[in-house]
Amino acid sequence: MDKSAEREALILRKRRKELGLTQMDVALNAGIQLQHYQNFEYGTRQFSKSTAILVLRICAVLELDPYEVVFGTSKDWIRRIR
């Protein structure tokens, strides 16, 4: 598993559990299939390489800052894209 995918998976899983949601809850509210979301949580698909709209939908459901999920922390995302 890729290091970024593993970090992203951990963030998604931890936040989902903090909110008391199931994987199905997240998938339904984001408008995607359960298996699609599970691939992100299991790290078999890299969240940050998905479409922007999908990342934003999932982050909205989980009340996450997409920059923090994709780049690590909101403070160093600009440095990472340069």
Per residue in 58-67, pLDDT (tens digit) is 999 999 999 8
Q: What is the pLDDT of residues 5-35, one digit of tens each?
A: 899 999 999 999 999 999 999 999 999 999 9
For residues 22 and 32, the answer to whether their CB atoms sit within 8 Å is: no
Residue 55's pLDDT band, with cuts at 50, 70 and 90, is: very high
Average pLDDT of the segment spanning 51-64:
96
User: Scanning the structure block, which residue is given the tokens 């920059």?
Assistant: 67
Q: Which domains does the chain have, with CATH numbers?
A: 3-81 (1.10.260.40)
> What is the pTM assigned to this prediction?
0.85
Tell me how far apart the alpha carbons of residues 36 and 13 are, in angstroms, rounded to a whole number. 14
